[in-house]
């Protein structure tokens, strides 16, 4: 987490690691974005983060066709939060554009029959961000990597807030109290023509309906 998530994020925001202990200055670590949402609603200020030049060049060279990117959660803890992989594959087969699956990190080297995967993005946060920014559309269930799209104004995404029995962090009441999202709401900085939270399970029917609705809205524009 420190070397593969926290330190790359520091670089993405243009910060430098000093070695100082922020706790000495009264800093309290906040895992939730609630304070950021409140700050944005008051000031419209929003920090932007960027992948490094190497990762950006890699994405531009390898994904110039702007593929659809499906990020999977497939881990052993809280398995009720995992992606419905069979439904995502079924959906991917209907798409008329290149599809890239980004597997969970511990499955980075495991293939998905009939589709490309991207082990580099599973393992390297800068390449993951660069790929997401290069994509025509990104698809998520709530997981850590999804934050790279949610907390931007430009990276397109459809994120499915699936039912996760026994995991309260998906509940509307929890999201309002601890994240700052109104029940079944959207992040206040989101461009709803291409960035949307969908409060539904990741079934083929739900994914297809949300995708078609977004496409129809974009065509009107």
pLDDT tens-place string over residues 54-108: 999 999 999 999 999 999 999 999 999 999 999 999 999 999 999 999 999 999 9
pTM to 2 decimal places:
0.92
CB 131 within 8 A of CB 100: yes
Q: Give the span between the Cα atoms of 137 and 13, in whole angstroms.
A: 23
DSSP sequence for 127-196: HHHHHHHH-SEEEE-SSTTTHHHHT-SSS-EEEE----TT-GGGSHHHIIIII-PPTT---TT--TTTEE
Domain boundaries, the chain: 2-15+25-220
Element (H, E) at 117: strand 116-117
pLDDT of residue 29: 63
> Is the CATH number 3.40.50.2000 carried by domain 2-15+25-220?
yes
Residues 6+ apart with CB under 8 A from 27: none
pLDDT score for 176:
92
Bridge partners of residue 112, in order along the sequence: 115
The structure tokens listed for 39 are 């700050």
């Amino acid at each position: 987490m420190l070397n593969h998530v926290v330190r790359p994020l520091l670089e993405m925001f243009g910060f430098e690691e000093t070695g100082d202990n922020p706790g000495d200055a009264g800093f309290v670590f906040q895992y939730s974005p609630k304070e950021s949402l409140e700050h944005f609603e008051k000031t419209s200020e929003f920090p932007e983060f960027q992948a490094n030049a190497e990762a950006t060049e890699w994405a531009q060279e390898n994904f110039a066709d702007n593929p659809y990117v499906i990020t999977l959660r497939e881990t052993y803890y809280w398995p009720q939060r995992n992606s419905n992989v069979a439904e995502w594959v079924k959906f991917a087969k209907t798409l008329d554009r290149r599809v890239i699956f980004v597997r969970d990190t511990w499955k980075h080297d495991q293939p998905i029959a009939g589709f490309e995967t991207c082990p580099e993005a599973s393992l390297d946060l800068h390449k993951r961000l660069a790929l997401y920014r290069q994509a025509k559309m990104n698809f998520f269930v709530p997981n850590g990597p999804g934050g790279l799209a949610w907390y931007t104004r430009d990276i397109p995404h459809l994120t499915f807030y699936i039912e996760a029995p026994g995991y309260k962090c998906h509940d509307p009441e929890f999201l309002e109290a601890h994240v700052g999202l109104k029940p079944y709401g959207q992040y206040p900085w989101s461009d709803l023509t291409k960035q949307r939270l969908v409060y539904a399970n990741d079934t083929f029917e739900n994914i297809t309906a949300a995708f078609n609705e977004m496409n129809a809205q974009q065509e009107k524009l």
